[in-house]
Amino acid sequence: MVKLYLSEIEGAEDKRKFEQIYQNYRQRMFSVAYGILHHKEDAEDAVADACEVILKKLDAIRDVCSDETWGYLMVIVKNKAIKIYNKN
């Protein structure tokens, strides 16, 4: 899955940054989404939707391994999960 996202990124530095974000946070993002949705496929969809947003907002993330970044990602994935929950 990460290869699909990386193919959408131009610069090597942005690719490295996104790959680090994906590897460091995807499991925690899934846990947040699953906690809201209680459905594996929907939680995976929420994480995928969040990754699309993150791709567009990579410039807003300065330090990949920070509480600020995790908070930012958590808000994104929560909002995507809630949107899916309300749609269902």
In this prediction, residue 10 has a pLDDT band, given cuts at 50, 70 and 90, of: confident
Residue-wise pLDDT tens digits, 17-52: 999 999 999 999 999 999 999 999 999 999 999 999
Q: Is the per-residue pLDDT at 3 higher than 70?
A: no
Between the CA of residue 18 and those of 32, 35, 47, 84, what are the distances in Å? 19, 24, 14, 24
Indicate whether this model's pTM tops 0.95. Answer: no
Residues 6 or more apart in contact with residue 73 via CB below 8 angstroms = 21, 25, 29, 50, 54
Residue-wise pLDDT tens digits, 54-63: 998 998 999 9
